[in-house]
Structure 1
Amino acid sequence: MEEKFAIPCVGAIIEKCENGQKYILIQKRKKRNEKIEFGLWEIPAGKIREYENIYEALRREIKEETNLDIVYVKNENKCKTINSVGYTLTDIYPFNIVQNMSGGYSIIVMIFLCRAEGEIVNNVIENEMVQWKNVKEVQKELMEFPEHFYPMHILTLKKYFSYLSLDI
């Protein structure tokens, strides 16, 4: 039997503040080969290429999916990179890590808290309705209708709302 491995991925909770309100970027999932997940709310995320720096992968995926440029990643400045006996290694500081244990396909997503600049554009192949949404509205919808959200991001969003100590 062929051994299979989990696919490493990155994702971003992209924040912005406007008029004293906090917003995050969310989008509707639109991958044609997915029947169950199609149309669910998600945060931008994607796969890491072989030997790709995780922060470069994060910036690439966000650019591909939203057209935004990541200008800040929380704790990225803490990272150290070393070279040792032919290896180049870096440590990383994600906000959250989620592993899919069944259903869909086997992935591990490392999610970072970020800020971005630019003009939002939908990636017609992967998503639609990319938008800034008030965090309290997202939290309310997640509490009332968790089935509206891509399962891989539910625990991260709940952790994020707890991190913000939101009460609605």
Structure 2
Amino acid sequence: MEKFAKPAVGAIIEKEIDGEKFILVQERQKEYGGKENGMLEIPAGKIREYENVFEALRREVKEETGLIITKINGEECSAQSCVNGNKVISFQPYCVTQNLSGAYSLILNTFLCEAEGVLAESTDETQNIHWQKADFILDMLKTNPDSFFLMHVNALKKYFKLL
């Protein structure tokens, strides 16, 4: 039987505190996560059938972190049309990542975002949700990229201009 990749969204959520940049990260904790549980990740999840990509991103961030997205870079440049009675949207994410092997096939659309609110302590999919200094994440990407969930490594490397 032919299988297809699943579309997903992810958010690099950034904020500045006293002139220092921070990025929101969390530890992956899925019911059947196996060896990937405990890895650092950014908020992300699958897009539901016919769900607007930006609404999916807002939903996933809220579900996983408790935060409300206040800005999605590029959302203002998206375009919606009605073609033969069907709605379509075009958008340009910050980074698109496809895994070519592994547990399940994903195509992840990652966006740069800002958010506000109170962080959840943990959810049924994540734990240790926290703001981490960007310099710390950069150092980890350089020295131990395997500590991150694979689908987020290239987007974070692009963010830090390592690609």
1:73-152 pair list within 5 angstroms:
73-152=72-151
**Counterpart of 1:28?**
27
Question: Residue by residue, what CA displacement relative to the aligned partner does 1:64-92 show, whole Å, maximum 9, x if unpaired?
Answer: 00000000000110111111102111111
Structure 2, unpaired ranges of 5+:
none
TM-score normalised to structure 1 length: 0.94
Amino acid corresponding to residue 144 of structure 1 in structure 2: T
- Residue 114 of structure 1 and its aligned partner are, at CA, apart by 0.2
- Counterpart CA distance in 2 for 1:129 and 1:120 is 10
Amino acid corresponding to residue 148 of structure 2 in structure 1: F
- Residue 145 of structure 1 and its aligned partner are, at CA, apart by 1.1
Q: Give 3-state SS (helix, strand or coil) of 1:140's partner.
A: helix
TM-score normalised to structure 2 length: 0.97
- Residue 129 of structure 1 and its aligned partner are, at CA, apart by 0.6
- Residue 143 of structure 1 and its aligned partner are, at CA, apart by 1.0
Q: Contact 1:69/1:118 (CA < 8 Å) preserved in 2? A: yes
Question: Residue by residue, what CA displacement relative to the aligned partner does 1:32-84 show, whole Å, maximum 9, x if unpaired?
Answer: 20112110000000000000000000000000000000000001101111111
Q: Contact 2:65/2:123 (CA < 8 Å) preserved in 1? A: no
Greater mean alpha carbon deviation, residues 37-46 or residues 77-86: 77-86
- Counterpart CA distance in 1 for 2:21 and 2:99 is 29
- Counterpart CA distance in 2 for 1:127 and 1:110 is 20
Q: Does 1:45 align with 2:44?
A: yes
State the 4+ residue runs in structure 1 displaced beyond 3 angstroms: none
Structure 1, unpaired ranges of 5+:
164-168
Amino acid corresponding to residue 83 of structure 2 in structure 1: S
- Counterpart CA distance in 1 for 2:38 and 2:73 is 29
Q: Contact 2:10/2:43 (CA < 8 Å) preserved in 1? A: yes
- Residue 123 of structure 1 and its aligned partner are, at CA, apart by 3.9
- Residue 122 of structure 1 and its aligned partner are, at CA, apart by 3.5
**Counterpart of 2:53?**
54
Q: Contact 1:26/1:41 (CA < 8 Å) preserved in 2? A: yes
- Counterpart CA distance in 1 for 2:121 and 2:26 is 9
**What is the aligned length?**
163
**Counterpart of 1:166?**
none
- Counterpart CA distance in 2 for 1:122 and 1:55 is 24
- Counterpart CA distance in 1 for 2:50 and 2:136 is 38
- Counterpart CA distance in 2 for 1:73 and 1:93 is 11
Greater mean alpha carbon deviation, residues 40-49 or residues 119-128: 119-128
